[in-house]
Amino acid sequence: MVTLAEVAQHAGVSASTVSYVLSGKRSISTTTRQRVEQSIRELGYHPNAGARALASSRSNIIALMIPLRTDMYVPVMMEIAIAVATTARTHGYDVLLLTGEEGPDAVRRVTGSGLADAMILMDVQLDDERLPLLRHTDQPSVLIGLPADTSGLTCVDLDFTATGALCVEHLASLGHRDIAVIGEAPAVYERHTGFAERTLDGLRSRARETGVRLLHRPCEGGYDAMAVTLARILDERPGTTGFVVQNESAVEPLLALLRQQGRAVPEDVSVVAICPEQVAVQASVRLTSVAIPAQEMGRHAVERLMAKLDSRGTDEVVLIEPELTVRASTGPAAH
């Protein structure tokens, strides 16, 4: 294993000079720099991460806490994780993957051990037990998702309230008066996941404003659960002509069931999905949808974090504006 000292000797300079070449924290003459860089290349030198962390008390690692659960949005989580990892790399950081399993202890461990310089939390509950810790530590953090109380925290998320409003807006403007919302699994609502509730708020308030009737039903993924849910909805509100779906694994089952019942999309009923772009495009009907901008969220979170690490940038909530793309699943309401 090549060390700094060996590089220094090879280049005929002192260790500190090599260090300054590497960090750029002091000016170095061009000739010296080139000589050192040459030696680094020839010897295949890589700075030792542990030594570096010890001496500088910065690990150049950020921790990413992902949910252990896989009952929702798996591809979204994955996409965010990948975006975080690649964006972090462009800033010279690596990413440590933590699962939610350890809960608040993970936060303590990482903060206490100096393993990571900062952290990104995904799948934040409205009243998340990790939040008090984050507020107390001086370690920078960014949440992907919005808790109930965001004071003293930096958060990045899609504006789900606006998303909900946008969906109702679209259907209402097409003349739909009875709209059913097919939501995430009941468990998601039970543990008060922010985005689900905020979407609901947006849906409801815009429904009120536009005088549209709304029926919200949580739904486990899959064909069978969807069949039961749909039957109930049509039983309670036979005149339903618009659907908003916020549950990836209910999308295709819903379309299949509608087809099977002879309800044509978009002639008889309209469907708006809140889902990743790919799902909307690959579905059996190209879906009018509001995309969940996973990459953008991951990227944003890292950028915020870097700003905090450089002590520019303050606590604030970044809400990404939703965009509704009209495709082939929505049309004027039949009357």
Partner DNA sequence: ATAGGATGTCGAAGCGCTTCGACAGCGAGT
Partner DNA sequence: ACTCGCTGTCGAAGCGCTTCGACATCCTAT
Closest of 180, 175, 184 to residue 123, by C-alpha: 184
Tokens of 143: 């949440």
Q: Given the complex with a copy of itself, which of 152 and 222 has the nearer CB atom?
A: 222
Q: What are φ and ψ of residue 233, in 5° steps?
A: -60, -50
CB atoms within 10 A of CB 153: 20
Question: Smallest gap, in angstroms, from Cβ of residue 150 to a copy of itself?
Answer: 27
Determine which residue in the list 42, 55, 68, 317 makes contact with DNA, applying CB under 7 A. 55
Q: Does 38 bind DNA (CB under 7 A)?
A: no
- CA torsion, ordered 129, 305, 189, 160, to nearest 10 deg: 150
Q: Which positions touch a copy of itself (CB under 8 A)? A: 1-2, 44-54, 57, 59, 61, 64, 66, 68, 70, 74-75, 77-79, 81-82, 85-86, 89, 94-99, 101-102, 108-109, 111-115, 221-223, 249, 252-253, 255-256, 259-260, 281-285
Question: Smallest gap, in angstroms, from Cβ of residue 158 to a copy of itself?
Answer: 19
Q: Given the complex with DNA, which of 15 and 227 has the nearer CB atom?
A: 15
Q: Does 264 bind DNA (CB under 7 A)?
A: no
Instruction: Please tell me the count of residues contacting DNA according to CB under 7 A.
Output: 31
Tokens of 106: 């993970």
Q: Given the complex with a copy of itself, which of 83 and 172 has the nearer CB atom?
A: 83
Q: Given the complex with DNA, which of 55 and 231 has the nearer CB atom?
A: 55
Q: Does 48 bind DNA (CB under 7 A)?
A: yes
CB 160 within 8 A of CB 321: no
CB 283 within 8 A of CB 309: no
In whole angstroms, give the CA distance from residue 167 to residue 247.
14
Q: Does 34 bind DNA (CB under 7 A)?
A: no
Q: Does 4 bind DNA (CB under 7 A)?
A: yes
Q: Does 27 bind DNA (CB under 7 A)?
A: yes
CA distances from 199 to 6, 172, 181, 222, 235 (A): 59, 16, 10, 21, 24
Q: Given the complex with DNA, which of 1 and 312 has the nearer CB atom?
A: 1
Determine which residue in the list 9, 37, 43, 52 makes contact with DNA, applying CB under 7 A. 52
Question: Smallest gap, in angstroms, from Cβ of residue 35 to DNA?
Answer: 8
In whole angstroms, give the CA distance from residue 1 to residue 242.
65
Residues 131, 133, 138, 141: is their CA dihedral positive or negative? Answer: negative
Residue whose entry in the numeric block shows the structure tokens 């350890």: 102
Contact partner at residue 43 from DNA, a copy of itself, none, CB < 5 to 8 Å by partner kind:
none
Q: Given the complex with DNA, which of 23 and 38 has the nearer CB atom?
A: 23
Q: Which residues, 6+ apart, have CB-to-CB distance to 198 below 8 Å?
A: 146, 160, 161, 164
In whole angstroms, give the CA distance from residue 124 to residue 227.
30
Closest of 237, 198, 232, 195 to residue 217, by C-alpha: 232
Question: Smallest gap, in angstroms, from Cβ of residue 221 to a copy of itself?
Answer: 6
Q: Given the complex with a copy of itself, which of 16 and 90 has the nearer CB atom?
A: 90
Binding residues (CB under 7 A) for DNA: these are 1, 3-5, 12-17, 19-20, 22-23, 25-29, 31-33, 45, 47-48, 51-52, 54-57
